[in-house]
Amino acid sequence: MATVTAARGMTAEERKVIFASSLGTVFEWYDFYLYGSLAAIIAKQFFAGTDPNTAFIFALLAFAAGFIVRPFGALVFGRLGDMIGRKYTFLVTILIMGLSTFIVGLLPTYASIGIAAPIILISLRILQGLALGGEYGGAATYVAEHAPDGKRGAYTAWIQTTATLGLFLSLMVILGTRTAVGETAFAEWGWRVPFLISVFLLAISVWIRLAMNESPAFAKMKAEGRTSKAPLSEAFGQWGNLKIVILALIGLTAGQAVVWYTGQFYALFFLTQTLKVDGSTANLLIAASLVIGTPFFIVFGSLSDRIGRKLIILGGCLLAALTYFPIFSALTHYANPALETAIKNSPVVVTADPAKCQFLFNPTGTKTFTSSCDISRTVLAQSSVSYTTVDAPAGSIASIKIGDKVIQGYDATGLSKDEAAAKDKAFKKDLGDAIKAAGYPSKADPAQMNKPMVLLLLTILVLYVTMVYGPIAAMLVEMFPTRIRYTSMSLPYHIGNGWFGGLLPTTAFALVAYKGDIYYGLWYPIIIALATFVIGMLFIRETKDRNIYAND
């Protein structure tokens, strides 16, 4: 029976379901990514009561808040989705997301309403994160429960394209607005336009979703009075299901998340922050790689219907882990060869008291590092300078040797804000001059950049993303019974992507600063991806032929 069903074409109703679910989810991701892309400008508008560095830290903290609360959104909306239905729950999530984004576009700045501005902004970011936590599970479950046997991978793969398409759409709208109004106007008021435009996207999404029917599997269960009365306790209070939730997290979504974030977000961060490629060029290259790679979500989703989900997802994790170091080294070679030469020919040595050198992990953005060692390593890491650290006697002030020149660091412990700012300015000037003299470029030279090769490498990274992400929705849906599916699949997905993935940039930067190697941050996704590969291979069962109603 499954073979006959799989052989037929997609019906008009199924196309409508996929289009409506995917379109709404694209718009939700678009809303979510706008903030991250505009963090630097938002920092100046809403956190102007602090110094520029602190303002940017708090802007990133507000961005991180959206990731941190996503699992809680999965719990809240997952419970509602399993109790009252898929359709109405993810109609609510898109309303919350869309209105929160639109209000950001109208929100007065710090200069207008003072401390209320950042408080409201962070509150809106939290609402966005909660809504996104409920959106994905609803869309994936809704599409999967409409899909015929043998087609779930292909059908749900359309949902998997939405995060990439949302990122692409946000980059294009920002770039278009910047070009239309100019950089000065964009920094003053033009940044609001992408947020305000989202209200039109919201209206279209709501109109389409209102016309959708409830998923047939849930409608049948509700008519028979078999819906769950306590989805949270059934999903997480019973070991049989909780065990599967834990395995879904550490054996699937954790590795999928770090590969996804490395291939798209960290690649962009590496180009702009580490390799000093200008923002417009980096965004266009990332956007081009997304255009080339996005169809492969459907390719790998469809392939998973034939050869299985597990092999493709875990294969993508393994390939990524084995090739990240050579790929990112090649990105340096082709995007900024002058930096590659400087790292090789002009070694930098930090001499510091090891007791004063902390691991610079700062996920909340609120911790300050004031020792001379921490300050020196942070500035070098931000300047894309690789270095080694040599132990100095206890109590010593850190120094930095670049070639024959030695730059003395400073300790900011106990200094006033003005004193620390003055010392920081002088230190960065001296260090910047020495770095420049040693051949470290302040920005990548477009004339030396091999753009076709950079694009090829970025596309390979996106292909890894499509391998791990294309089949994941179908597999998660197939792991849980209908009555608690929305709740059960949403939590491991959003812990994996919100926490393991969302903390990747912060963790990677801390690792780079700790070791003094611009590639050292890659150990974070590599270790997580390898751990997922091993656990998944040992404990996760293939699901492609599973009857998703068997346990109902």
Query: Tokens for 516?
Result: 């003094």
Q: How many other C-beta atoms lie within 10 A of the C-beta of residue 16?
A: 15
What is the average pLDDT across 449-467? 97
pLDDT at position 9 is 62
- The dihedral built from the CA positions of residue 18, 244, 126 and 78, taken in this order, carries a sign that is positive
Rounded to a whole number, what is the distance in angstroms from the first to the last CA of the chain? Answer: 20
What are the pLDDT digits (tens) for 184-207? 899 889 999 999 988 888 888 888
Could you give the 3-state DSSP secondary structure of residue 297?
helix
Predicted local confidence at residue 6, as pLDDT:
44
Backbone dihedral region for residue 436 (phi beyond 0: left; psi -120 to 50: alpha; all else: beta): alpha
Determine which of 210-219, 476-485, 540-549 has the lowest per-residue pLDDT on average.
Answer: 210-219
CA nearest to 462, candidates 320, 321, 277: 320
Domains for the chain: give ranges and CATH numbers. 11-335+447-539 (1.20.1250.20), 346-437 (3.40.30)
Q: Which two tokens stand for residue 222?
A: 């509700």
pLDDT per residue over 59-76, tens digit each? 666 767 777 888 888 888
Cα 213 to Cα 13: distance, rounded to the nearest angstrom: 10
Residue 314's pLDDT is 97
Q: Pick the more confident residue, 529 or 231.
A: 529
Q: Are 95 and 158 in contact (CB under 8 A)?
A: no
**What confidence score (pLDDT) does residue 365 get?**
52
Please tell me which of 311-320, 382-391, 423-432 the model is most confident about, judged by mean pLDDT.
311-320
Q: What is the 3-state secondary structure (H, E, C) of 406-471?
A: EEECCCCCCCCHHHHHHHHHHHHHHHHHHHHHCCCCCCCCHHHCCHHHHHHHHHHHHHHHHHHHCC
Please give the helix or strand (H or E) that residue 57 lies within, else none.
Answer: helix 52-68
d(CA 167, CA 163): 6
What confidence tens digit (pLDDT) does each residue in 16-45 have? 778 877 877 787 678 767 876 787 788 788
Q: Which two tokens stand for residue 82?
A: 């399993």
Burial class (CB in 10 A: 0-12, 13-18, 19+), 425: exposed
Give dist(CA 309, CA 475) in Å, integer.
Answer: 6
The pLDDT score that the predictor gives to residue 313 is: 97
Q: How far is CA 150 from the centre of its chain?
A: 30
d(CA 193, CA 188): 11
Give me the residue label for tokens 């001379």: 372
Tell me what pLDDT residue 2 has: 38
What six digits make up the tokens of 205?
């999404």
Contact 293, 260 (CB under 8 A): no
330-362 pLDDT, tens digit each = 999 999 999 999 888 888 899 988 888 887 666
- C-alpha span between 504 and 265 (Å, rounded): 9
pLDDT for the residue numbered 59:
67
390 sits in which H/E element: strand 388-391
Residue pair 339/381 in contact by the 8 Å Cβ criterion: no
**Alpha carbons 115 and 112: distance in angstroms, whole number:** 9
Are 21 and 161 contacting, i.e. CB atoms less than 8 angstroms apart? no
Dihedral sign from CA coordinates of 366, 372, 373, 378: positive
1 has a pLDDT exceeding 70: no
Q: What is the mean pLDDT of the chain?
A: 84
Helix axes 309-335 and 523-539, enclosed angle (nearest 10): 170
**Residue 5, pLDDT above cutoff 50:** no
Q: Which of 52-56, 189-193, 239-243, 379-383 bottoms out in mean pLDDT, i.e. has the lowest?
A: 52-56
